[in-house]
Amino acid sequence: MAEAIQRTDLAKWSAMQVREAIRSGRWRGTTHGGARGRLQANLVVLSKDHAFDFFRFCIYNPKPCPILDVTAIGNSEPKFAAPGADVRTDLSKYRIFKNGSFVKEVDDLLDVWRDDDHVGFLLGCSLSFEDALESNGIPLPHLRDLSRTNCVYQTNIPCVPAGLFKGRLVVSMRAIPNDKVERAVEITGRYPLAHGAPVHIGDPHEIGIDDMNDTISGKFQSLDRGETAVFWACGVTPQSVAMSAGIPEMFTHKAGHMFVSDLALDGRK
Amino acid sequence: MAEAIQRTDLAKWSAMQVREAIRSGRWRGTTHGGARGRLQANLVVLSKDHAFDFFRFCIYNPKPCPILDVTAIGNSEPKFAAPGADVRTDLSKYRIFKNGSFVKEVDDLLDVWRDDDHVGFLLGCSLSFEDALESNGIPLPHLRDLSRTNCVYQTNIPCVPAGLFKGRLVVSMRAIPNDKVERAVEITGRYPLAHGAPVHIGDPHEIGIDDMNDTISGKFQSLDRGETAVFWACGVTPQSVAMSAGIPEMFTHKAGHMFVSDLALDGRK
């Protein structure tokens, strides 16, 4: 019987090893900490009918939607970000949406992928820069204490629209010690493919967040004295925008169950 | 009778004024020096059948193909880079290609544009950073002496392929005084939307240029003692790649007759 995989194994593995463990069904958990030093990605799969405008939306809004790769129409291999990989099988959990509503979770997209139609977008995610923050001495309590989570919020900051795709920016908030905010800005600014520098620091009202308890996901647990709320553009934005556009069909990863790419944090191979 | 427009007028005008002078037929010359401080762009128009893979080619090869805007399918307004503009009429000279061969030059694309099909790509060009080099004390002789031109070369550096679009990088060469090369790298590196920092400095053989007289365009006139050959990724690359892919139909600007966008050199509005 195959030995059970531990999360600590995942960190030591290459991106390809993590993807293979997922593809073979040996790992179904989140990819947090997997293939350390490699960019992880949000997945959005759309029909070619909507893919062109969504592509435009991503380049117009690079902070929430940093493009790591876009597959050819009908081809499930992200040849740039991970040659040999397959976006239908290499994520540990997927979500299916129809007409803007969540329908169900599935373990792969083999039954629903259309070879003449579907396009996979891999968009950078902030899991990638959290490692860099921690290794530069900036504590992220939710990485150690699973009872703490990142909080994700809707803002009033408009995205640049493209066709059907329009809406407001979604952000993730991290509580950063006051004396480390500047350093956090500097470090994350180095990783534009993982959302880059914050979009806002401090007063949440200024970006339309009137109640810090009113999250899209995550439970707000008060800021400690000596901590500042720092807000980064979030990869939930494109999903949120695609849902409110009422796209007939969209497949995505499940939160935390990301695509692990071969790309280094600076986007190089 | 309308007064004749001088090139010196163009520099003082806004991007919109330059585009209007072109649209109304009052200016048919190159846009060199026009709307100082605004990004100028290469234009590539393709059918929607090829636009998706070309879009992918551009994001895979951001140095030769920095995307300023991509129009919606069939819509000739580049809403991000220049709201209200029209890529069919706002360039002073266009070139039409069929099946990989040049067919003719035209003054506008009104007769050939298809409202259900064509997509316009606006890709940053190096005219934009030449101003920045000059204003930082780096002389570019071809800006003052029209008998000197930039030289454009085919290299052996492969681009990352996307579908039909594959080929080697095209570069432009500028002779830079040895003691100013470092400064030229620093300055152009600030403008990734205008091809950014050089791709090569010095020996042309290292990038497959065996004879400096063997240009794609421009006439090589020997390097002065004390000058270094500096090579930047060139916006001719995507045209060259699209031509060798044998795309049935492509429209572009004529060299030097660029689209003048509203975007500042850093891509901001």
How far the first Cα of chain A sits from its last, in Å, is 35
Q: What span, in angstroms and rounded, lies between the C-alpha atoms of A166 and B148?
A: 48
Cβ–Cβ of B73/A52 closer than 8 Å? Answer: yes
The pLDDT mean for chain B works out to: 92
* A267: nearest CA partner in chain B: B60
Among the residue ranges A128-142, B10-24, B34-48, B183-197, the one predicted with the least confidence is A128-142
The answer to whether B230 and B174 have CB atoms below 8 angstroms apart is yes
Q: What span, in angstroms and rounded, lies between the C-alpha atoms of B113 and B211?
A: 40
Confidence of residue B1 (pLDDT cuts 50, 70, 90): very low
The predicted structure's pLDDT at residue A56: 97
Is A67 within 8 Å of chain B by CB?
yes
Burial of B203 (0-12, 13-18, 19+ CB in 10 A): exposed
The predicted structure's pLDDT at residue B2: 53
Question: Is the pLDDT assigned to residue A169 strictly greater than 60?
Answer: yes
C-alpha separations of A45 from A51, A248, B98, B236 in Å: 8, 12, 33, 32
Among the residue ranges A114-123, A184-193, B133-142, the one predicted with the least confidence is B133-142
pLDDT digits (tens, 9 = 90+) for B140-173: 877 666 666 689 999 999 999 999 999 999 999 9
The predicted structure's pLDDT at residue A246: 87
Q: What span, in angstroms and rounded, lies between the C-alpha atoms of B23 and A122?
A: 39
The pLDDT mean for chain A works out to: 92
Among the residue ranges A12-21, A140-149, B27-36, B66-75, the one predicted with the least confidence is A140-149
Question: Is the pLDDT assigned to residue B212 strictly greater than 50?
Answer: yes
CB-closest option in B52, B59, B73 to A73: B52
Cβ–Cβ of B80/A60 closer than 8 Å? Answer: yes
The CB-based long-range contact list for B137-146 (8 Å cut-off, 24+ gap) reads B137/B180, B137/B183, B138/B176, B138/B177, B138/B180, B138/B183, B138/B184, B138/B187, B139/B177, B140/B174, B141/B175, B143/B32
pTM of the full predicted structure? 0.91
DSSP H helices, A157-263, are 181-189, 236-244
The predicted structure's pLDDT at residue A8: 84
The predicted structure's pLDDT at residue A217: 87
Q: Where are the beta strands (DSSP E) in chain A?
A: 38-47, 67-70, 94-98, 101-106, 118-124, 151-158, 168-177, 200-201, 227-233, 249-253, 259-264
- Range B170-188 average pLDDT: 95
B78, amino acid identity? P
SS3 A16: helix
- Between the ranges A212-226, B129-143, B205-219, where is the mean pLDDT highest? B205-219
Among the residue ranges A30-39, A64-73, A111-120, B167-176, the one predicted with the least confidence is A30-39
Is A56 within 8 Å of chain B by CB?
yes
Question: Is the pLDDT assigned to residue B217 strictly greater than 90?
Answer: no
- Range B197-225 average pLDDT: 93
Is A47 within 8 Å of chain B by CB?
no
Instruction: Name the pairing type of β-strands A168-177 and A227-233.
Output: antiparallel
Q: What span, in angstroms and rounded, lies between the C-alpha atoms of A26 and A42?
A: 21
Tell me which residue has tokens 């921690």: A134
- The H or E element spanning position B8 is helix B7-12
Q: What span, in angstroms and rounded, lies between the C-alpha atoms of B263 and B82?
A: 7
The answer to whether B220 and B151 have CB atoms below 8 angstroms apart is yes
Question: Is the pLDDT assigned to residue A21 strictly greater than 50?
Answer: yes
Per DSSP, chain A holds a count of helices (H) and strands (E) of: 7, 11
Q: What is the ipTM of this complex?
A: 0.88
Residue in B160, B154, B198 with CA at minimum distance from that of residue B180: B198
Tell me which residue has tokens 């039954």: A111
The predicted structure's pLDDT at residue A68: 96
Check residues A49 and B2 and name the one with the higher pLDDT. Answer: A49
Confidence of residue B82 (pLDDT cuts 50, 70, 90): very high
Closest Cα in chain B, distance from residue A212 (Å) = 31
Question: Is the pLDDT assigned to residue B205 strictly greater than 90?
Answer: yes
- Range B124-144 average pLDDT: 84
Tell me which residue has tokens 């070139």: B95
Confidence of residue A1 (pLDDT cuts 50, 70, 90): very low
Would the CA dihedral through A197, B68, B241, B185 be positive or negative?
negative
- Range B243-247 average pLDDT: 88
Is A28 within 8 Å of chain B by CB?
no
